[in-house]
Amino acid sequence: MKSSSGITERRWSLVTSHGQVLAYLAIQPDARLRDVAEHVGITERTAVQIVSDLEQGGYLTKTRVGRRNRYQVDGEKKVPTTRLPMTVGQLLAVLLQALDQQPFA
């Protein structure tokens, strides 16, 4: 991506797309994948693959409700890293609290 000064900027995030999708679905369990993709800044196809990965990993359960899907995050599942001894629910609570407080805004 080029900035206004013509310098190429690398786009990156401290939280992976998988983590962003999981956090978004934790607060918007009835969201359409189109909405998830737009919010996270990924394609709808990538959102479908990430949701599938999260389901297969046991972090997310998808239930059909009428014509829509509803997502449930398993907050007791351990975060997939050896450096953070916490559950997904604990990590999401920290992230969502930080977003609500916006300490650097």
Domain ranges in the chain? 17-101
Q: What pLDDT was estimated at residue 44?
A: 97
Distance CA 62, CA 82 (A): 27
Q: What pLDDT was estimated at residue 48?
A: 97
- Was domain 17-101 assigned CATH 3.40.50.300? no
The structure's pTM equals 0.73
The DSSP symbol for 1 reads: -
Which residue type, as a one-letter code, is found at position 93? A
The pLDDT profile of the chain, 105 residues, written as one tens digit per residue, is 555 666 666 667 677 899 889 989 998 999 999 999 999 999 999 999 999 999 999 999 999 999 999 999 998 888 776 576 788 888 888 877 766 654 444
